[in-house]
Structure 1
Amino acid sequence: MPPPTSTDPWLAARRFGVVIDAGSSGSRLQIYSWKDPGVVLAEQGDIVRNTLPKVEKGVKAGEDWITKVEPGLSSFADNPEGVASYLEPLIQHAQSRIPPSLESETPLFLLATAGMRLISPVQQARVLNAICQYLRSSSNFRIDDESKDGPCGLSVQIITGEEEGLFGWIAVNYLMDGFSGGTSEKTTYGFLDMGGASTQIAFEPADSDLRSDNEVLVDVRLRLLSGEEVKHRVFVTTWLGYGTNQARERYISETIRLAEDDQTLDTADLDYIPDPCLPKDLVVSEGKPRLDGSPVHSSVPYKLVGTGSFTQCLQKTAPLLNKEAPCAEEPCLFNGVHVPLINFSSSHFIGISEYWYSSEHVFGLGGPYDFVQYERAATAFCERDWDGIVEQHELSKQRGLLGGDGEVLQDGEVIKTGVWGDRVELSRLQMQCFKAAWVANILHEGIGIPRIVDPGGNTSTRGEQVAQQAERKGLGRPMFQSMDSVGGVAISWTLGKMVLEASKAVKPLSIHSRPLVDPVQDIPSTSQNPPIRPIRPPFFDLDMIEEKLSQHLPPALSRGSLGFSPVTFFLYIFAILLLACMTSRLRRSVRHTFRRIRRSPLKRDLDTTYSMEEGSLSPGASVRSSTRSKPSLLRSLRRFLSSSPSRPRLSPLNTTLTRPNLRRSLSFPSATSPAYQHPAFGTSTASQYHSRSSSPTPTALLFDENGTTTTTLSNTISSISACTPNIARSRNSSQMNLTTLVPRQMSLSRASSFSYTPSESFEDE
């Protein structure tokens, strides 16, 4: 069906959203739509002010809003190049149903679930990167920019089981009007979901039941059409390995182990193991599974023979809940998983997926749950002979008869049994007894839902009657009901995702309101133990970088033409050049540091000897001073890393002394001159100079035109330091050769230590 035209009234002010549910067995695309919130509010006014945007199917009529491809995305873990052809029919289907003018405004999400969680992080990253590249190049749908969440942000990602549970919780309460109640009464429904690998629970605990569980709750924020924000604090958790398929694998493993340990069984009869969770006389060959649940040892087959006892099946599957596991934080439901207290007088649950399939497809008991009725139907089915079940199934398929529980009613009486529709396969009938028992144990032994709803005595065999009786007696809504759709709209976590997206489009009451985000994005980043840990595969991978750059390189530089990866080659060259540059910049510091380390023992001994002969410093002080003055390799490296062309450098400071109207150079006499004459200071001998001077260190003075005297040191400071101890040791010499020092600028720190001040040296003159 082509997309609607612009003249179609149904299309007026309509918005679209696309979600691809990438599961373990296939990927299902769903198109949703909703009217612009501002237009709806303007047209309908106060009637809709306190409601959420109405999310509908993405087509005007029919079921073309859904399409599916197989297998699952995880099958491309080692072949990400095949993702493009895999997704092409899904994207083309969406483009054929959404007007081209609205494509750029339509958000598209590909959210992968169980299958993608099982492959390695590197494989996850490569598949997500291939998906992102294809979606950007093949369509104009709105895709997020690259972020910490992935190459396409939140548009393409792997979600956790907890996120599935939160989106499912939103979907259930949206369809059941759970968000329309007042703030004084909790009207939201709890959400239960069970698949083949895991099971989830999500519910909003009552304020009185929270106690200290605030840290494990997740904020779910939505916006009504009025712009008012509503917030619910929801608990969500998942049990991996507690879906029907993996629970069955654990059950088989335990059954075979008990049979092997049973000494009363004859070895010849070990291959035939009685199984109460199979219909009577059904024989199934099973290999002994590993501890992780995957079947192996097919060379040693075991034959399980059905005995058809639902009561015994309940007893044998109950230990699989692992209720004896240590509970780190009370209270726990099963397998040591903490769950806040559930008040079943106010908390009511809706179950989808396996809860619905096990109740409705075979028993015809979907809807309000009655354990008495459910147990009766399961017991009758398990006791049936398997050959009779197969015969009736073939007849039902040939005649196209309907009747979910296999019973045909006329005037309230059962006139025929064993009639199932085409949707029920033999594989479902084989495992129905086990799955029915597992669902009942999860509900009652695991979650704790009471088996008998009406303590006054409930003998009803119809769930609808249970709900009516509960309402008449003031018991409220049924504690649990299984559902598949509401008002023709299927209950799915993808619907919850679209309800959140439509809610984001509502204009807030205040410009200071926080933007709406997915619940996992509202978890504080500072949380020490977040209730949900998002799945973020590493996106730095050489192969992915090469895939991005190869689109911009000529064919001659491709991996196929060169025989090696050009990206890897250039990265190695860059790393080598960077290392060579750093080594070149630091070579002098490294060489100098090594020399200092090699000479430090000899220099320490000399400094100690000089200090003890002078008597001015203690040996320890001399050594410490020498140690502090050593150049440090770490200091040089820090200077190298902090150097930048943009950083200003401080110019050297001059230490000046004011002396007006003089421009002469003061130098000291040579060894051959017994005396010298200076116009400003008169005649003096070297010995007189030494007796008068307060500073023993010779210094050259340079007077400029303004009478400023610049005090400097010699280029070779070591020659000055060598003169000072010689004066002290050579006390018989009356003269000393002093060399006129060449003036140069020096830093303030050195000038303060070695400057020569005329006013102090010649104050006697």
Structure 2
Amino acid sequence: MRRSNARSPSIDPPIMDSLKNQLRPSPLSAARFDLLSRISPSNKQRPRGDLWISAAVASAATIAAFLLFAALVARGWTSSDEEGYWIVIDGGSTGTRIHVYRFRRGALLPVVDFGEGGQSAATMKVHPGLSSYADRPERAGESLVELLEFGKGRVPRERWADTEVRLMATAGLRLLDRRVQERVLTSCRRVLRASGFLFQDDWASVISGADEGIYAWVAANYALGTLGGDPRQTTGIIELGGASAQVTFVSGEPLPPEFSRLLTFGENMYTLYSHSFLHFGQNVAHESLRDLLISRGRKLSSESVQGEMFTDPCTPRGYSHGPLKISDAGSDANIEHVPTIHATGNFSECRSAALMLLQKEKAYIVALLHDGLGIALDDQRIVFANQVGGIPLDWSLGAFLVQKTEDLKASRSDWIARIMSDDSSTLLSLFFVSTVLGVAAWSVSKWRKPQLKTIYDLEKGRYIVTRISSR
């Protein structure tokens, strides 16, 4: 039963006021809502002026980049697939050979074209070698004329002026006196300067035996595909030339400075041991061996040795030697004899005779591999090869690769210096114009950008964002 005098429930006024305050939105939240309501619509549609400024900046940057790239291409500072040519003349002991290399720039190494069938289609050799001009060095350059004509037939005429030609003489010329070497080179330089190819006097030189070995190592590992990779995966070489032999391989041990060389390809550095053995090339050693055999077999008497016969165990049976003239150092040094040399092809006797030569020197074929380097005679790791995968194993190829790689490094490091040089006014103008355009576009964008200020209205309890008018 309900009581008649019961009071109806009521809420205390202070509590009611508190509830009203909780339900009423705060000034900060209201201001935030009002701010979003004011700013959001304006962000949905950017003013046409801002779009025009962005387009102008992008266009200016694109034009400047295009002009700069075009100038770099015109000056040949960028890599391209355009073919290039490079000529090296190998001044060997038995003859002089020209190599014309056609190539394209690669990411790490030049890509050389060796012609169809894997054969180098641009090489030619003439006889005799430059060292044979020791008695008439002023005529040494004449031997290059035929080779240079051959090179002109392999290089397009319009490319002659930018095709380098280099003369690198090897052991044959190293055996001559330094003054004779220089006279021979002077004669050759005179002919090379008039060839029509790109040439500098210091590009004709006598290279060291160690450098020759390094170039041969580079050529071999380029052909094997290991150049530019892990040094531990590379292959060492033993190059047997006409007048010298070279041994080159990567070493992980400390080396004497005279035998140590550093090479860098890509991100890998190679510490190379390179040693050249002068007088122990194939031709010189064979001549020394024949002289030894003749001296052992000659009769110790004053009788004429005309018609004497000597045996050569190192030449295959049935081979016929040409006439060999020797001078008798006895009573009449002007008398010449023509002995007969009979080839027997006896390996054991040949090795015995070769080892007799090696009692005076320490390197040549069998002794170099077996007695000198400690390599077993049946070691399958030793392979005789003149080419690998159709790529000729010629040290001149290595010389080309080393030189072009060094040129590429120099061009990359000197490009800023080239831009700042006196003959680079065009590039400086492009940089100046692009800089001015960029600064102008940035200034206009800052000038056109609206300036805003935010005010908090204490009476209404909200933030008010207004635009500042520019004067």
TM bucket, shorter chain: 0.5 to 0.7
Aligned residue for 1:495, secondary structure, equals: helix
Letter in 2 for 1:247: A
Partner of 1:20: 89
The within-5 A match list for 1:54-65 is 54-57=111-114, 64-65=121-122
Partner of 2:151: 94
Letter in 2 for 1:451: L
Of 35, 42, 51, the residue aligned with 2:104 is 35
Q: Deviations over 1:107-126 (max 9, x none)?
A: 21111223323443333222
Aligned residue for 1:138, secondary structure, equals: coil
Partner of 1:498: 400
Gapped regions of structure 2 (runs ≥ 5): 1-79, 416-471
Letter in 2 for 1:503: T
Partner of 1:123: 180
* CA contact 1:253–1:288 (8 Å) conserved in 2: no
Rounded to whole Å, the distance in 2 between the matches of 1:245 and 1:180 is 34
Rounded to whole Å, the distance in 2 between the matches of 1:336 and 1:275 is 22
Of 191, 204, 216, the residue aligned with 1:134 is 191
* CA contact 2:305–2:337 (8 Å) conserved in 1: no
Going from structure 1 to structure 2, the CA distance change for 1:65 and 1:59 (only over 3 Å counts) comes to farther
Letter in 1 for 2:274: V
Partner of 1:316: 353
Going from structure 1 to structure 2, the CA distance change for 1:270 and 1:70 (only over 3 Å counts) comes to closer
Rounded to whole Å, the distance in 2 between the matches of 1:166 and 1:175 is 14
* CA contact 1:286–1:302 (8 Å) conserved in 2: yes
Partner of 2:19: none
Pairwise CA distance, 1:36: 2.8
Of 220, 225, 229, the residue aligned with 1:177 is 225
The yes-or-no answer on 1:201 pairing with 2:103 is no
For the aligned residues, what is the CA RMSD?
4.0
The yes-or-no answer on 1:237 pairing with 2:278 is no
Rounded to whole Å, the distance in 1 between the matches of 2:88 and 2:150 is 12
Of 423, 444, 450, the residue aligned with 2:376 is 450
The yes-or-no answer on 1:188 pairing with 2:234 is yes
Pairwise CA distance, 1:31: 1.1
Going from structure 1 to structure 2, the CA distance change for 1:281 and 1:268 (only over 3 Å counts) comes to farther
Letter in 1 for 2:246: Q
Of 267, 271, 289, the residue aligned with 1:251 is 289
Aligned length: 331
Pairwise CA distance, 1:19: 0.6
Rounded to whole Å, the distance in 1 between the matches of 2:273 and 2:194 is 39
Rounded to whole Å, the distance in 2 between the matches of 1:287 and 1:176 is 44
Q: Deviations over 1:540-589 (max 9, x none)?
A: xxxxxxxxxxxxxxxxxxxxxxxxxxxxxxxxxxxxxxxxxxxxxxxxxx
The within-5 A match list for 1:576-655 is none
Pairwise CA distance, 1:276: 3.7
Letter in 2 for 1:164: E
Rounded to whole Å, the distance in 2 between the matches of 1:103 and 1:63 is 20
Say which structure, 1 or 2, has more relative contact order (CA 8 Å, 6+ apart): 2
Rounded to whole Å, the distance in 2 between the matches of 1:289 and 1:239 is 28
Partner of 1:168: 216
Aligned residue for 2:383, secondary structure, equals: strand
The yes-or-no answer on 1:158 pairing with 2:227 is no
Rounded to whole Å, the distance in 1 between the matches of 2:346 and 2:117 is 49
The within-5 A match list for 1:122-521 is 122-139=179-196, 141-144=197-200, 152-153=201-202, 155-182=203-230, 186-205=232-251, 207=252, 210-211=253-254, 213-224=255-266, 228=267, 230-259=268-297, 271-279=308-316, 299-300=336-337, 302-322=339-359, 335=361, 439-453=365-379, 478-507=380-409, 511=413
Letter in 2 for 1:242: F
* CA contact 1:167–1:495 (8 Å) conserved in 2: yes
Aligned residue for 2:230, secondary structure, equals: coil
Aligned residue for 1:481, secondary structure, equals: coil
Going from structure 1 to structure 2, the CA distance change for 1:64 and 1:312 (only over 3 Å counts) comes to closer
Rounded to whole Å, the distance in 2 between the matches of 1:94 and 1:72 is 18
Aligned residue for 2:125, secondary structure, equals: strand
TM-score, normalising length: structure 1: 0.38
Going from structure 1 to structure 2, the CA distance change for 1:75 and 1:321 (only over 3 Å counts) comes to closer
* CA contact 2:110–2:404 (8 Å) conserved in 1: yes
Going from structure 1 to structure 2, the CA distance change for 1:442 and 1:511 (only over 3 Å counts) comes to closer
Q: Deviations over 1:503-557 (max 9, x none)?
A: 12435798499xxxxxxxxxxxxxxxxxxxxxxxxxxxxxxxxxxxxxxxxxxxx
* CA contact 1:252–1:289 (8 Å) conserved in 2: no
Q: Deviations over 1:408-455 (max 9, x none)?
A: xxxxxxxxxxxxxxxxxxxxxxxxxxxxxx7444432333211234xx
Going from structure 1 to structure 2, the CA distance change for 1:446 and 1:297 (only over 3 Å counts) comes to farther
* CA contact 2:238–2:246 (8 Å) conserved in 1: yes
Q: Deviations over 1:616-656 (max 9, x none)?
A: xxxxxxxxxxxxxxxxxxxxxxxxxxxxxxxxxxxxxxxxx
* CA contact 1:204–1:232 (8 Å) conserved in 2: yes
Letter in 2 for 1:445: D
Pairwise CA distance, 1:297: 7.6
Aligned residue for 1:450, secondary structure, equals: coil
Pairwise CA distance, 1:94: 2.3
Rounded to whole Å, the distance in 1 between the matches of 2:95 and 2:411 is 41
Partner of 1:427: none
Rounded to whole Å, the distance in 2 between the matches of 1:510 and 1:12 is 17
Letter in 1 for 2:213: G
* CA contact 1:273–1:302 (8 Å) conserved in 2: yes
Going from structure 1 to structure 2, the CA distance change for 1:102 and 1:336 (only over 3 Å counts) comes to same
Rounded to whole Å, the distance in 1 between the matches of 2:151 and 2:162 is 13
Partner of 2:35: none
Going from structure 1 to structure 2, the CA distance change for 1:286 and 1:98 (only over 3 Å counts) comes to closer
* CA contact 1:168–1:492 (8 Å) conserved in 2: yes
Q: Deviations over 1:687-711 (max 9, x none)?
A: xxxxxxxxxxxxxxxxxxxxxxxxx
Rounded to whole Å, the distance in 2 between the matches of 1:167 and 1:485 is 15
* CA contact 1:59–1:97 (8 Å) conserved in 2: no
Rounded to whole Å, the distance in 2 between the matches of 1:253 and 1:105 is 48
Going from structure 1 to structure 2, the CA distance change for 1:92 and 1:59 (only over 3 Å counts) comes to farther
Rounded to whole Å, the distance in 2 between the matches of 1:260 and 1:299 is 14
Going from structure 1 to structure 2, the CA distance change for 1:321 and 1:290 (only over 3 Å counts) comes to farther
Pairwise CA distance, 1:498: 0.8
* CA contact 1:22–1:73 (8 Å) conserved in 2: yes
Rounded to whole Å, the distance in 1 between the matches of 2:373 and 2:170 is 24
Pairwise CA distance, 1:249: 3.4
Going from structure 1 to structure 2, the CA distance change for 1:279 and 1:80 (only over 3 Å counts) comes to closer
Seq. identity, %: 27
Going from structure 1 to structure 2, the CA distance change for 1:510 and 1:120 (only over 3 Å counts) comes to closer
Rounded to whole Å, the distance in 2 between the matches of 1:111 and 1:214 is 26
The within-5 A match list for 1:639-718 is none
Pairwise CA distance, 1:170: 0.9
Aligned residue for 2:111, secondary structure, equals: coil
